[in-house]
Amino acid sequence: MVDRDQNGIDDAVELRGFAEQALSEKDFLVRPPDDARDETERLKVPSASELAAVARDLTDLPWSSIDNDDSKDLDQLELAERLSGGVIRVRVAIADVDHFVPKGSALDRAAAQNTTTVYTAAGVYPMLPRRLSEDVTSLLEGVVRLAVVTELDVSPDGKVVRSDHYPAVVKSRAKLTYDGVSAWLEGKGPAPPGVAGELVEQLELQDAVAQSLRRARKENGGLGLDNAEPRAVRDENGKIVDIQAHVQTRAGALVEDLMIAVNGAVARFLDAKGHPSLRRAVKTPERWYRIVELASEWGGELPEAPDPRALSAFLATARQERPERFEELSLAVIKLIGRGEYIAKAPGESPPGHFGLAVHDYAHSTAPNRRYPDVATQRLLKAACAGKPPAYSLAELALIAKRCSDQEKNAKKVERQLQKSAAALLLSDKIGREFEGVITGASDKGTWVRIRRPAVEGKILERSLHGRRLDVGDVVRVELRATNPRRGFIDFERI
């Protein structure tokens, strides 16, 4: 049956109410507290000349950003140049959030409570006030901004042979989008607006070095997965008309590859300087046996012991042989590997590692407008660059790691709940329809399925399983039985 008590109410307004209630229940600040707002209002933005006096002036270089069409909280700028011997020097500028959000300030305390920007179907709830994240600390086109630059020399085989880090003043020449750059790189569209001359060579060079980095990572066992994220699609009146799975584009992979390289270089630099660090870790999968079973069902073979290289090779073959079903396989493997967590690491201690990326050293450092671990890492990095004592003790980092890991889980729960509320609104007139889907969760708490179109996840009614256990990755047909937008419930019955 359909929960009809929501009909006739504007879904955008309704979803915002659901979102704010869910955020409050998970200990998020829905709006900045008064003292943080006061600090934001009193904030003085230095002039371009004042900024140039405190950091290296790199405003004459052809920086550009690549992000979503509607993103305003721009964290990164990139550029590249050819050196001798086939080496490519990559520079990545990361917004200097710490300069405007000092440790211990009201803005810092509010950011440390939320720890992350939350992206919901009802809208974006930023970690920092919008005046900061979408203006003062955003690397907007044509504006002089303070940044922390990581410089990487990458050999033709995708290895980082040298790195450096320093504060700098930068200015973006173009805000580019993932879709526009991807279509152009793949020969499916014209050059994006503003891309001419130097920027053409820039993007081609960045794409080349990103691909070499990715090849090297895959040779080490990095997994080539499609993490298809559901996104609500609205019409011109703001009404949700579809929920589509957004798969990573070529430009998205370009940015990801460069950021992974930066995050690794930052982690190694802090360790070399004897500073503690906040690492992003993904442990060896506990349910490796199920990944082995899935591989067998797809005609592949994996060893009994977890092996990222073997898994990477199997995934590459599966993508090539059955591209139309690879998204389902990716989703299942991602679920079985499990989510990452933050861990405080002492200098010289063995790193926790990241199973999915097949890297040992990894610290989130490239999105300080959106994630608090990146702000903390930026403070550590700046202190190490300046030859100062660590910005945090290991004990402080342990507390930050725990809070950030917990709030990341809570943010994902809120995002999923709102996605389900949006989906329930969309599906409320489709009761009784049949869909094909893939099992995304199976435990004592229930069995969950994600259907293909729209890209929606719901629970399978226990009565329809008739005692048969389904597992992650199984493909099933289901019938929609009920929706409840307020609670984010979508119930399916297995056919």
Same domain? For 218 and 182 the reply is yes
Give me the sign of the Cα torsion angle 407, 282, 356, 376: positive
User: What are 26-75's pLDDT values in tens digits?
Assistant: 999 999 999 999 999 999 888 888 887 778 999 999 999 999 888 899 99
Residue 356 has pLDDT above 50, yes or no: yes
Same domain? For 113 and 218 the reply is yes
Same domain? For 202 and 331 the reply is no
**Residue 209 main-chain phi, psi, to 5 deg:** -70, -35
Note whether residue 248 is domain-resident: yes
Same domain? For 264 and 300 the reply is no
User: What are 360-407's pLDDT values in tens digits?
Assistant: 889 999 999 999 999 999 999 999 999 999 999 999 999 999 999 999
Same domain? For 228 and 331 the reply is no
**Residue 11 to residues 6, 81, 197, 266, 485, Cα–Cα distance (Å):** 9, 48, 45, 43, 10
User: What are 103-158's pLDDT values in tens digits?
Assistant: 999 999 999 999 999 999 888 999 999 999 999 999 999 999 999 999 999 999 99
Same domain? For 166 and 198 the reply is yes
How large is the angle between the packed helices 198-219 and 250-272, nearest 10 degrees?
A: 70
List all residues 6 or more positions away from 222 whose beta carbon is below 8 Å from its beta carbon.
214, 308, 312, 356, 357, 358, 359
Same domain? For 104 and 24 the reply is yes
Note whether residue 369 is domain-resident: no
Note whether residue 34 is domain-resident: yes
Same domain? For 68 and 171 the reply is yes
**Residue 366 to residues 4, 176, 263, 339, Cα–Cα distance (Å):** 44, 18, 7, 19
Residue 354 has pLDDT above 80, yes or no: yes
pLDDT for the residue numbered 2: 40
Phi-psi label, residue 467: left if phi above 0, alpha if psi -120 to 50, beta otherwise: left
Q: Which one, of 404, 411, 373, 401, lies nearest residue 98 by Cα?
A: 373
| 314: containing domain | 288-337
Note whether residue 25 is domain-resident: yes
Note whether residue 179 is domain-resident: yes
Which domain CATH number covers 450?
2.40.50.140
Same domain? For 192 and 260 the reply is yes
Same domain? For 300 and 255 the reply is no
Residue type, 458: G
Note whether residue 64 is domain-resident: yes
Beta-sheet pairing, 434-443 with 446-451: antiparallel
Task: Please count the structural domains in the chain.
Answer: 3
Same domain? For 242 and 267 the reply is yes
Note whether residue 359 is domain-resident: no
pTM over 0.75: yes
Region of poorest pLDDT, from 76-85, 103-112, 306-315: 306-315
User: What are 154-212's pLDDT values in tens digits?
Assistant: 999 999 999 999 999 999 999 999 999 999 999 998 888 878 888 999 999 999 999 99
Mean pLDDT within 300-310: 90
Same domain? For 198 and 227 the reply is yes
Note whether residue 263 is domain-resident: yes
pLDDT for the residue numbered 10: 63
pLDDT for the residue numbered 50: 85
